[in-house]
Structure 1
């Protein structure tokens, strides 16, 4: 092939790529209703956030966005479903920390978060709050750690399941505080909270909306929150980091991803629309009322964040020898 033919070939390929990109961009929004998959049952924090965002998203793009709850296996079922779903822009997943960066290090999940799913935008985040019942006898994190270090002490902490965000928050604290709390997994927040209130377990890294009504009623004592700073709705509860463990951070987070083969122009368009919704003052106010902080990002920022979280939690899984249920 001579030089002129090479130039013609390269030009033709460039034009074809540009045309394909334009066609893909014109396919937005999809001509059929969009499905937003949520890996947890209706009624929880993830579902509430997804429905708020989906409603506004549909209004903005002029297409129906339907929330589809596919609970089970800690959210992994929803992630498996999305990884194998249509890659035409009609399917989004409100993915979460567990299935995206923790579960793959504990079990065979049937998908690769970095190959079978494509990042779109960050969604929301919230810290856990470490709460204890009154019988524990600790009113501060320092007192709780001192109790945990007493000879023969067997202090338990509840979670919503092995590999969940609440479980890994406890294991990270075990590592940094050099204690050995015993992990007790539950099948959800409700049974964990019930046993804590019944004083059958000492502590629980709980979601604030779950725990705070009982704190306000004087039934539970909050020791610390697990985020990098105090959330605006919990100004009087110190963080673990400011209580003697600098750098401690264990946030729950949800992010938007799509099937891995979804064309980049469509992913870019969804990013623009989702970021617009998360920055909408009314949506932000509604999410914050649920104890959720909007976390809009670029696609590249989400990829970097997920890789950082993946490395962090895989190290904890190995060091603490965490196993799946």
Structure 2
């Protein structure tokens, strides 16, 4: 099956800039408050990113930028809302990487991630951290596999919802390792994390925002990191690749999307202003402190990333027969 090496994920980042349709005349934008729709519950990477950006963009645009959480259906409710919004740049989506896999999970999905949105910027990326409740008798990924083989289906993992990176990353690992792990979905990264800390589930693959503090506090045990290198805030926790699974990698991201057919001048200003904000030293420092790798990549790179992840994760979803219940 296709793996997820970094060069493959980035192979299309030199793709041509997305064409968004005829250029429309714009005298001024924005002319009223701008909504940043986060399709998840508060407390996760997309929510944190949106709130950080909203403060900066309010000052830059002279209009209020309001974060609106529209959680549900693994992010699809909020995404559909923005896909149907007027393409005038006043309603925008702050998606996670799970948006690209929605068509593979939901029959007759109301929107198409590549057709119904115009890319603006990639804001951040992050690996997942494998964390286990102390009651799980495993101190690394090899011991986790051994325990799961002895107890098929009894090792449970919580996620922020069906089809996002916190779900696909452990599903991919279980597939590669040949063990059965039982999925327990929640409505966001924060409740998923609470389930691990409370011992409702055995483990999770969660973002560094939730994971690092819990590991430092001794609430959970760090077993591995899904990136190609060890995470800067957890240097003692080895990558999954270096624990006997050399081809394994799973990376999440957050970006900014506008409805398709948003006028070119508006997209150009969005891209320019977003890149400028994301390049600010204070913004980058806050994102790193929160546990993310800040990015400031524009429309062409974001489009290529979405296309590459659509092919890679889509192929795995088909092979593993993953569906959203």
Partner of 1:308: 308
Structure 1 gaps, min length 5: 1-19
Partner of 1:208: 208
Structure 1 residue 101 corresponds to structure 2 residue 124: no
Partner of 1:228: 228
Distance 2:272 2:152 in 1: 55
1:138-173 CA-to-partner distances (Å, cap 9, x unmatched) read: 112122222223475743222222212211011111
1:10-62 CA-to-partner distances (Å, cap 9, x unmatched) read: xxxxxxxxxx84x63x4343222222211123344322211111221232233
Distance 1:96 1:198 in 2: 26
Per-residue deviation at 1:289? 2.0
Structure 1 residue 170 corresponds to structure 2 residue 177: no
Distance 2:195 2:58 in 1: 41
Per-residue deviation at 1:91? 2.2
1:225-252 CA-to-partner distances (Å, cap 9, x unmatched) read: 1123233222222221222222422122
Name the SS for the 1:136 alignment partner. coil
Distance 2:298 2:77 in 1: 26
Distance 1:153 1:111 in 2: 34
Matched-pair contact (CA < 8 Å) for 1:96–1:255: yes
Superposition TM-score, scaled by structure 1 size = 0.85
Matched-pair contact (CA < 8 Å) for 1:228–1:247: no
Larger radius of gyration: 1
Superposition TM-score, scaled by structure 2 size = 0.85
Q: How does 1:56-75 map to 2 (within 5 A)?
A: 56-75=56-75
Matched-pair contact (CA < 8 Å) for 1:28–1:269: no
Name the SS for the 2:95 alignment partner. strand
Q: How does 1:272-283 map to 2 (within 5 A)?
A: 272-283=272-283
Shift in alpha-carbon separation, 1:243–1:270, aligned structure 2, 3 A: same
Name the SS for the 1:53 alignment partner. helix
* Cα root mean square deviation, aligned: 2.2
Structure 1 residue 143 corresponds to structure 2 residue 154: no
Name the SS for the 1:32 alignment partner. coil
Matched-pair contact (CA < 8 Å) for 2:212–2:234: no
Name the SS for the 1:40 alignment partner. coil
Name the SS for the 2:296 alignment partner. coil
Q: How does 1:177-192 map to 2 (within 5 A)?
A: 177-192=177-192
Distance 1:254 1:70 in 2: 16
Distance 1:113 1:153 in 2: 33
Partner of 1:260: 260
